[in-house]
């Protein structure tokens, strides 16, 4: 799990970010520390316009990579 969202509107998303980006991002309007996961540097985005389209792509990809890198070799091989 690297990016979590619901089907209800308005869209709300949680994802992992780098530790050094966490403070800056959570200072933005519409972004807060993710409940229960902030200690692991997860953010909760309540407003879709809190990030630009380019930033959305970057942070979703980065979140995937951060989680993927921590997986075991066996699981990585299964994923491909």
Is the previous residue joined to 10 through a cis bond, with omega within 30 degrees of 0?
yes
In whole angstroms, what is the distance from residue 40 CA to residue 33 CA?
10
Identify the structural domains of the chain with CATH numbers, from first to last. Answer: 3-79 (3.90.1150.30)
- Residue 4, classified by CB atoms within 10 Å of its CB into exposed (0-12), middle (13-18) or buried (19+), is middle
Q: How many CB atoms lie within 10 A of CB 25?
A: 19
Phi-psi region of 30 (alpha: psi -120 to 50; beta: other; left: phi over 0): left
pLDDT per residue over 17-57, tens digit each?
999 999 999 999 999 999 999 999 999 999 999 999 999 99
pLDDT per residue over 1-25, tens digit each?
999 999 988 889 999 999 999 999 9
């Amino acid at each position: 799990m690297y990016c979590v969202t619901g089907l209800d509107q308005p869209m709300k998303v949680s994802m992992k970010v780098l530790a050094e980006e966490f403070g800056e991002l959570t200072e933005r309007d519409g972004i807060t520390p993710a409940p229960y996961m902030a200690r692991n540097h997860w953010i909760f985005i309540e407003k879709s316009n809190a990030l630009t389209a380019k930033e959305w792509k970057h942070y979703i990809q980065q979140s995937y990579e951060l989680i993927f890198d921590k997986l075991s070799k066996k699981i990585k091989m299964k994923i491909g």
